Structure 1
Amino acid sequence: MTKFFKTFLTAGAAICLAGIAQAADIKADIKGMAFSPATITVSVGDTITFTNRDGAPHTATAADGSFTTATLRKGKSETIAFDSAGTFAFFCKIHRGMKGTIVVQ
């Protein structure tokens, strides 16, 4: 195999792999009766793992009903996947004053 052909194959593989995006798992805590961070920006295909750090139970529930976690007790987590772009307001069904926003790009 010639040096040119090896270089061509390596460059082609790099270009192909650059187009494959890895999904990220973003961590979000529920603590102090608030979501942290309150605004979360992710890419389409990413997930957010909500973990309850409070003594009280909480949920993370979309205002439009597109997602909700189970009731999370202290130390419990749940992961939500986002497969379409948009801005999603969310809240805790138990403590409705707890609010946040997810921006999916």
Structure 2
Amino acid sequence: MEFEKELLKGYIDIIVLSVLKHKDMYGYEIGKTIKQENKNFEMKEATLYVSLKRMEKRNYLEGYWNDDENSGGGRRRYYRITQEGLNFFGEKVQEWRVLRELLDHFLGVNINE
């Protein structure tokens, strides 16, 4: 399903943070996980890396290099969510709940369905 760009724009970071809440991952792995968990949405690689850089600058994520030879491909930059990132994620989830309730009301959708 195609989503309007502007509709998703504000939620890209939240989607990435939700994946990183479970474990540290490198960029390609994050994108692959998002694709596997939701067949309706595939994040473009450029969008993902812009999001990772932006969140690293805001201290929502911390990036580090893994030189593990068992990784099968050399150096990979892994990302982990910080406490600041967890706080931001929690705030955005609350915002989403309020927005969803508002939209469900005006669209005539029963929240409990």
Greater fraction of residues in helix? 2
Greater fraction of residues in strand? 1
Into which bin does the TM-score normalised by the smaller protein fall? under 0.3
Bigger radius of gyration among the two: 1
